[in-house]
Amino acid sequence: MDAGIRNRRIAITTAALLAVAAGPAMAQTKTLDTVKARGTLNCGVNTGLAGFSMPDDKGQWTGLDVDLCRAVAAAVFKDATKVKYVPLTAKERFTALQSGEVDMLSRNTTWTMSRDTSAGLSFVGVNYFDGQGFMVKKSLGLKSAKELDGATICVQTGTTTELNVTDFFRANKLNYKPVVFEKLDETVAAYNSGRCDAFTSDHSQLYSERLKSPKPDDNVVLPDVISKEPLGPAVRQGDSGWGNVVRWAHFAMVNAEELGVTSKTVDEMQASANPEIRRLLGKEGDFGKGMGLDNDWAYQIVKQVGNYGEAFDRNVGAGSRLNIARGQNALWTKGGLQYGMPIR
């Protein structure tokens, strides 16, 4: 082998080894260390979406997305209350994450390729599988979105919703007139006042807004699902150590549900002989340490926030006013898509 090539190979190999050696350590000195030093998690959430993220009159936030912020705080600080909620509109959310104003986004945000690649974000999971639909006045007597030819449709800017609605009408060779707003309140108000025939958004949001509307029963959500909207948390690109914390906080909740570990049973489950439960709860292995946390990281999540099923039920499911069926958000063992990667 020619000496020049050999030297180059050695140099490349050395650089690769150094990168591998530096990789995990570097990742962990980023957001995780910043968050630990600050003592609170800055979590970007929706400004107010029932079931997902909503402040009450005392400023207490609840919702499925809020619970993910709480889970991360429980894993990092052993205290789910150490969260500063930063309400963000659809348009503001990505700059807030990119600029460092928030450490993570947990805000009904669809994981798309452009956002995950060129927008500087990194999606780390899906905490709610959704799809876009339409809400219309019951008095119109419509049965399907394909009957919306010529309709005026209220839509919010800065969302995937805008593009999907264009695609849907184009693909079905139908016409429509978009009325676009920057804020959700304006969009919904325009629909409620009769300025638009339909309001289009993710199905979960349609149910949430229907509930808030002056006369919920006057509105129907059409059965059509015109897109895939995998909603999930995102972190900044290039911060994989921090991404791991958020990703595994979600998986811990899903795995806990699958293993039957709830906020009520988690203490007694610490004595379980089931190896999967023992690893989840930090009784065996160093799974927390591998992320820069203590090994009871998932115990704290389940104890303080609950498993995924508990969070789903109380926020959006059978135990909530929204009463949304588990559907695609059921565990994979029950015909759904929620699947926690194994802790081992």
Decide whether 142 or 231 has the Cβ nearer to ligand GSH: 231
CB 182, min distance to ligand GSH, A:
8
Decide whether 130 or 239 has the Cβ nearer to ligand GSH: 130
CB 83, min distance to ligand GSH, A:
19
Q: Is 159 in the site for ligand GSH (CB under 6 A)?
A: yes
Among the listed ranges 18-26, 97-105, 108-116, 243-251, the one in contact with ligand GSH (CB under 6 A) is: 108-116
CB contact set of 337 (below 8 Å; sequence gap of 6+) = 126, 129, 328, 329, 330
CA-to-CA distance for 70 and 86, rounded, in angstroms? 13
φ/ψ of 64, rounded to 5, equals: -65, -40
Q: Is 122 in the site for ligand GSH (CB under 6 A)?
A: no
CA-to-CA distance for 46 and 32, rounded, in angstroms? 23
Among the listed ranges 25-33, 58-66, 159-167, 318-326, the one in contact with ligand GSH (CB under 6 A) is: 159-167
Stretch (H or E) spanning 230: strand 229-231
Q: Is 204 in the site for ligand GSH (CB under 6 A)?
A: no
CB 298, min distance to ligand GSH, A:
28
CA-to-CA distance for 338 and 18, rounded, in angstroms? 37
Binding mask 224-253 for ligand GSH (x = CB under 6 A): -----x-x----------------------
Q: Is 205 in the site for ligand GSH (CB under 6 A)?
A: yes
Residues numbered 27-66 forming contacts with ligand GSH, rule: CB under 6 A: 46-47, 49
Greatest Cα pair distance, the chain, in angstroms, is 82
CB 250, min distance to ligand GSH, A:
17
Give the distance, in angstroms, between the CA of residue 222 and the centroid of all CA atoms in the same chain. Answer: 24
CA-to-CA distance for 45 and 86, rounded, in angstroms? 6
CA-to-CA distance for 171 and 165, rounded, in angstroms? 10
Decide whether 197 or 310 has the Cβ nearer to ligand GSH: 197
Decide whether 32 or 190 has the Cβ nearer to ligand GSH: 190
Three-class DSSP category at 228: coil
Range list of H helices, 262-344: 266-269, 275-280, 297-304, 308-315
Q: Is 184 in the site for ligand GSH (CB under 6 A)?
A: yes
CB contact set of 46 (below 8 Å; sequence gap of 6+) = 52, 53, 54, 63, 65, 87, 88, 107, 108
Among the listed ranges 28-36, 118-126, 199-207, 256-264, the one in contact with ligand GSH (CB under 6 A) is: 199-207
CA-to-CA distance for 205 and 209, rounded, in angstroms? 6
Q: Is 90 in the site for ligand GSH (CB under 6 A)?
A: yes
Half-sphere exposure of 279 (CA within 13 A, CB side): 12
Q: Is 222 in the site for ligand GSH (CB under 6 A)?
A: no
Binding mask 268-307 for ligand GSH (x = CB under 6 A): ----------------------------------------
Three-class DSSP category at 32: helix
51 DSSP assignment: T
Give exposure, 18-27, as e/b (b: 16+ Cβ within 10 Å).
Answer: eeeeeeeeeb
Decide whether 209 or 258 has the Cβ nearer to ligand GSH: 209
- The full length of the chain comes to 344
CB 300, min distance to ligand GSH, A:
29
CA-to-CA distance for 301 and 251, rounded, in angstroms? 11
CB 170, min distance to ligand GSH, A:
19
Candidate list 42, 89, 219, 315; residue touching ligand GSH; CB under 6 A:
89
- Rule CB under 6 A: which residues touch ligand GSH? 46-47, 49, 89-90, 108-110, 156, 159-161, 184, 201-202, 205, 229, 231
